[in-house]
Chain A
Amino acid sequence: MSGQQQDPGQAPPRSSSRLWILGVVVAAIVIVVVMAEKRRAPQTDAPPTSLLPSPVPDSVMHYLTTIPATTWEQAGTTNAVPPIFVGTTGATTGKATVLYIGALYCPYCAAARWSVITALSRFGTFAGLTYSASSSQDVYPSSPTFSFFRSTYTSDFVDFQSVELRGAEPLGGSYPALESPTKEQEALIQKYDAPPYLSPQAAGGIPFMLVGGKYMWSGSPFSPGLLADRSQAAIAATLPAGTDPAARAILANANELTAAICAATGGRPATTCSSPVVAAAMKSLPATTPR
């Protein structure tokens, strides 16, 4: 009878016009595994590129790395957070060491990465940066940003060391561990992310940055609220003009960081360090340690 099922006890026909679906799915699984292996293959001798699902596209990297000189000048260092002078432990690699300690869940780190990437791109090249967002369950939820986890940075002037301590979303009561600082990095954190450079209440905070063993930042360079409700691409697109409030904050703090790096590299490269805004910011860098 039409509209009724076959006898439930009857054996299924041997042939099926839809068995090909299983073949397609098996082929798709093979393709996915091969593509995944191909993506990971070049990284066998280097850190894998990313934890994150989306690599930053070239178009967005272009915005981050090709900010016009006039925009840098206009941005100045207005409202930028100056570093804390911590002395002269100095770098030993021949390059200025820039240490960044943060975590993916941290909204203040989300803000800081924008300035770090734009500043460091004046000294070298990032690869393997990926999109990220701060925790959806913290203040300034899901602030758009990037991740340094498993990214690489090459430069003739700067040795960039990044440590993303924990992931973006809580799991079983805490944010999962991603990377651990080395003993040397841990010693720097213990020494500088603490009194007398910071108040006891602010000790151990992230993001923590140390440039050339001389200049330290602990905390957010600007309010992550400036990044709210926009994508990374939308924010990045405002950087060349530099008039958007978020762009102004990103670039002003990047100028301040650039000046500290230039002080640590001995003014190299000149193309960056001799620009009027950076040269002026270098002169304004603090030279005494807090008591």
Chain B
Amino acid sequence: MTLRTFDRLRLALSVGGLVVAGYLTLLHYNRDVPLVCSHNGIVDCATVLGSPAAMLFGFPVAAWGLLWFAGAVVLAIASLRALRRGHRDPVRGVALAYVLGGTAFILYLLYQELGVIGRICAWCTVVHVIVLALLVVQVLSDPMRAPGRD
């Protein structure tokens, strides 16, 4: 797989995360948006998203996720633009740190779901998988971005 493919995948994943986080944010603020999710058993989006764990610093976690994925889109575009111009990836270290930070936060959210709330939010899980996929893509493509690989 080429670096361009990796970065296009990063962009696609980031846009996907942006869409899901956008839906969850809309769900919080717009009463007309329906929640499409199971409400029974272990998968229970309503309980998870309606819990105080879904709020952080006065804003829904989904809104923070929206911001995070917007940042990920910007980083992916920066990498792709540099690649198109034949330059070294200017955000290599930032992007890796960024996705590691996102991964740490989803680990916290995973603990909240499994250990504290005892329910899983399907949409949140989609977001978690996207962040983990971004991490895998970033790490696997990292050697291609190394300065010594010119």
Contacts and interface: CB of A to CB of B under 8 A. Distances in A.
Interface of A is mostly: loop
Interface residues of B, number: 54
Interface stretch (B9-17, B32-40, B67-75): B32-40
Interface in A130-147: 131-133, 136, 142, 147
A275 to B, nearest CB: 35
B27 to A, nearest CB: 6
Interface stretch (A164-172, A193-201, A202-210): A164-172
Given A21-B100, A173-B31, A51 B47 contact: yes
A46 interface: no
B35 to A, nearest CB: 4
B27 A36 contact: no
Contacts, number: 160
B96 to A, nearest CB: 7
Contact of B87 (A4, A8, A36): A4
A5 interface: yes
Interface in A1-50: 1-6, 8-13, 15-19, 21-22, 25, 28-29, 32-33, 35-40, 48, 50
Interface of A: 1-6, 8-13, 15-19, 21-22, 25, 28-29, 32-33, 35-40, 48, 50-53, 104, 131-133, 136, 142, 147, 166-178
Interface of B: 1-4, 27-28, 31-35, 46-47, 49-55, 58, 60, 82-83, 86-89, 96, 100, 103, 107, 110-118, 132, 135-136, 139-145, 147, 149-150
